[in-house]
Structure 1
């Protein structure tokens, strides 16, 4: 059992959270109408925006990107090059905003910290046996501490989907709370891996569970599983953070990751944020786009709007 004592009006604030009370709360959340959710997401995605608004949306999307490399072949040189791109996405155009963060494996955090010192671009690190999450809690905590000690500003952890899907909600809650404590001053993004959660009801329950356990952000995916950041799933998570703030007064961020590759995709997400959660979330502080290939498309679309022509495919570095 876990004691929760806050100054908010959280549904379980100032109460002893037990497996029974947590299960009752999560299963008491309103169910998700699958057809209705998918239709609403599709309707919002079909909205168009004017040229001037599109230019602003592209710059906003660039500023929300977590530029990411999570490959076994990653090297210090690749990380340094990516950090340079994060700070100056288009070397020929200093008006392009820098991205929000660079996301790497824990052993490359120190390289990113050195490369980004003084730039304002944050360093994020995946941890907790990413992407499977299949390890002991002690190993996950140590993994997190190593990344934080190396200078990570943000930790992206993965939940134990096996525990969640088998109904062991308290195990997942306690694990998130332990990782949050290990983060110290670093922000915690909790990856739900929504492609493995099967139902929209599970996405809603996992979102609330993560927020109640201390998540600063809830994140759709590792990017290693398909489907990843679908619009209906992101919409349900945005509804969750909106309702969580209404219940507790606390804001939690959202990070869709995986499958967001084009400017059109990014703008659909920004429309979704505005219509579902509200414009308070339209800032890199509260909304991120986890991507590796998205940035180049945003840069090409931006240049097209500025100059009237597309850049060649070799104009920007490959990520």
Structure 2
């Protein structure tokens, strides 16, 4: 099969012909129909997330068709469309797994990081960590739901019932979850790179009541803010934007260093918290919600061989919405 391989962090992906994997016990073999390109893929490729499996097939927002199942799999049948997300395996026995916090598992496996992912024509996955997808989305539109959507949903939950919600970094995750938040009756305030008029217009077109530069103050105090941009300097800015008791949620897996800031920004019971990975329950809840809410998913498709181009476009901020590789 054709695949794009990472041989070492900091290097471009290499096209290669490698054997089609065989499903082991509990696994399914999946023919990849689409795989979205996530900022986490950039962090892996650029070496900001250390110790990936090497060589590695990246990609963890996978939509595919089940081709074969290993021993013990009775949840999916050949021909069924499924989604494969970032969380690829958990130990099931550590204190976190046993207390309903499998996203914090002590011995996890992550698709496209420690497990080969979807930048290929086929992949294998643990069937217990795969999910049926809402029929209303085609393969390309469904792919970003599997991380941009899932992490966005978990981040939104951490923002609790915030009515005025700021979103910093209006990319793949933000454009999906902003629509979910609007459906819930929240007001969205979108913060983009300074001067990015196109992104601000994009946010306004998706229902944001205000869109401006990340260096600007919102017109009213926010109840909560979610940071999808991996820029530590935005944490103090978001703290200054939220009201007393407000929450700042850091939704990324990697962020540049947070600069020092005066305690008065944190005082009055403001909270800064991170979001780590996801749980299978997150996926069940969000995919059911996505089946009910008509989310407009903005995508730019690329052929599999153009994976490096897609990553570069994401790195340089040349995309609106999500990039999706199509084998």
Normalising by structure 2, report the TM-score: 0.26
If each structure's strand is expressed as a fraction of its own residues, which one has the higher value? 2
